[in-house]
Amino acid sequence: RQAQFRALKDVEPLTKDGKRITLQMNAGLLVDLPHLNEAGAEGIGLFRTELQFMIASTMPKAEEQEAFYRNVLKQTGSKPVTFRTLDIGGDKVVPYFRAAEEENPALGWRAIRLSLDRPGLLRTQFRAMLRAAAGAEFKLMLPMVTEVAELKVARELLQKEIERQSKLGEQLPRKLQFGAMLEVPALLWQLDELMAEVDFVSVGSNDLFQFAMAVDRGNARVSDRFDSLGRPFLRMLRDIVRAGERNDTPVTLCGEMASKPLSAMALLGIGFRSVSMASTAVGPVKAMLLALDADKLAEVLNAALDDAKSETSIRQLLVDFAAAN
Ligand code: PEP
Ligand code: MG
């Protein structure tokens, strides 16, 4: 089957009813990059910049960050890369950056919270990215956003770095897109404001599921208790897709859900047209979508999501649909 999937790498990802789907991959280290072409992914939808920090024994210096991003962009060539700013804290431990013990690290001082409290760190990262992407197209996004106001502060810091680079006469990126990860449920009640503020949104379904269902993603005892193919979570995701359509803001998803063909099928059924996944999943997900009638699935799926009497989990419905079509 591996060979079968590899044979699909240059096949255009079109559903049976002609919907063009963008399939990107997640990465975080240089060793991930050769998979981009091997898997036939269109770009890197999530580049986890904290990996460079997690494998280092001391804080990577500005020049090291810049060299690293430059290397990533060089190796990915014309394919787009979405860099996510540091997402440390929670389950991502950086040994030389030890904050006080926290009782609930997932809900603690992490990601954009830490970045906004240590603006020097965030500005250094922005600067390294701007310099590495001089003359190129470049996308960045911030993790764990809870309020739109946080994004405005982050954008001001980015703007300062852009102005600094211009004053120094340095070349800027040719095009820059600013995005947010949607991983905290509070953003669901700020969707229109959020989308007015950013160029794109990327759903972090791992964390969004953890926070929405109140289950620790690292604790199998509870994390498997509820189904991400259940009505509550799929309805939540559908609301995000609809907000994207309403606001004309691109919405993608980069959590583990996109890596499982059945879940990826559900995502296409609720309207996602772009997903980012583990490189090994690109082939299997493409095989799934080439055989999928997305409109037909949307009809069945929406009916189940809107039917208060249907089962909480619609996993079986998806399995049956896949088998019958
Ligand atoms: C997510 O939360 O879904 C996500 C993509 O980010 P990470 O898994 O790195 O937290
Ligand atoms: Mg996350």
pLDDT at residue 159, rounded to an integer = 98
Ligand 2 centre to CA of 285 (Å) is 21
Question: DSSP state, 20?
Answer: B
pLDDT at residue 97, rounded to an integer = 77
The tens digit of pLDDT for each residue in 233-280 reads: 999 999 999 999 999 999 999 999 999 999 999 999 999 999 999 999
A 10 A CB-CB count for 312 gives 11
Residues 64-71: what's their mean pLDDT?
98
Nearest-angstrom CA–CA distance, 164 and 142: 21
pLDDT at residue 106, rounded to an integer = 92
Which residue lies with its CA nearest to atom 6 of ligand 1? 204
**Lowest-confidence region among 34-38, 111-115, 304-308, 310-314:** 310-314
Q: Are 283 and 5 in contact (CB under 8 A)?
A: yes
Give the number of the atom of ligand 1 that is nearest the alpha carbon of residue 26.
5
- Residues 6+ away with beta carbon under 8 Å from 80: 24, 42, 43, 44, 137, 139
More confident residue, 28 or 99: 28
Which residue lies with its CA nearest to atom 4 of ligand 1? 204
Is 150 a pocket residue for ligand 1 (Cβ < 6 Å)?
no
Give the number of the atom of ligand 1 that is nearest the alpha carbon of residue 205.
3
- Residues 6+ away with beta carbon under 8 Å from 26: 32, 44, 45, 46, 47, 48, 254, 276, 277, 278, 279
The tens digit of pLDDT for each residue in 138-180 reads: 999 999 999 999 999 999 999 999 999 999 999 999 999 999 9
What percent of the chain has a predicted confidence (pLDDT) above 90? 89
The tens digit of pLDDT for each residue in 277-322 reads: 999 999 999 999 999 999 999 999 999 999 988 888 999 999 999 9
* pLDDT band at residue 213 using 50, 70 and 90 as cut-offs: very high
Beta strands in 10-62, from DSSP E residues, in sequence order: 22-27, 44-48
Is 271 a pocket residue for ligand 1 (Cβ < 6 Å)?
no
pTM over 0.95: yes
Residue 98 clears pLDDT 80, i.e. is over it: no
pLDDT at residue 324, rounded to an integer = 92
Residue 2 clears pLDDT 90, i.e. is over it: no
Which residue lies with its CA nearest to atom 10 of ligand 1? 207
pLDDT at residue 124, rounded to an integer = 98
Is 183 a pocket residue for ligand 1 (Cβ < 6 Å)?
yes
Is 205 a pocket residue for ligand 1 (Cβ < 6 Å)?
yes
Q: Are 279 and 32 in contact (CB under 8 A)?
A: yes
* pLDDT band at residue 28 using 50, 70 and 90 as cut-offs: very high
pLDDT at residue 289, rounded to an integer = 98
Ligand 2 centre to CA of 231 (Å) is 21
Is 89 a pocket residue for ligand 1 (Cβ < 6 Å)?
no
Give the number of the atom of ligand 1 that is nearest the alpha carbon of residue 256.
3
Q: Which mutation among 25, 29, 47, 48 tests ligand 1's pocket best, with the greatest number of atoms within 8 A of CB?
A: 48
Element (H, E) at 167: helix 148-167
Is 46 a pocket residue for ligand 1 (Cβ < 6 Å)?
yes
Is 255 a pocket residue for ligand 1 (Cβ < 6 Å)?
yes
Residue 1 clears pLDDT 80, i.e. is over it: no
Ligand 2 centre to CA of 167 (Å) is 35
Residue 5 clears pLDDT 90, i.e. is over it: no
Ligand 2 centre to CA of 308 (Å) is 30
Residues 69-76: what's their mean pLDDT?
97
Element (H, E) at 318: helix 315-324
Residues 185-214: what's their mean pLDDT?
98
φ, ψ of residue 23 in degrees (nearest 5): -110, 115
pLDDT at residue 80, rounded to an integer = 96
The tens digit of pLDDT for each residue in 78-97 reads: 999 999 999 998 778 888 87
SS3 232: helix
Is 254 a pocket residue for ligand 1 (Cβ < 6 Å)?
yes
Give the number of the atom of ligand 1 that is nearest the alpha carbon of residue 90.
10
Nearest-angstrom CA–CA distance, 190 and 201: 13
Give me the chain's average pLDDT, please.
95
Is 173 a pocket residue for ligand 1 (Cβ < 6 Å)?
no
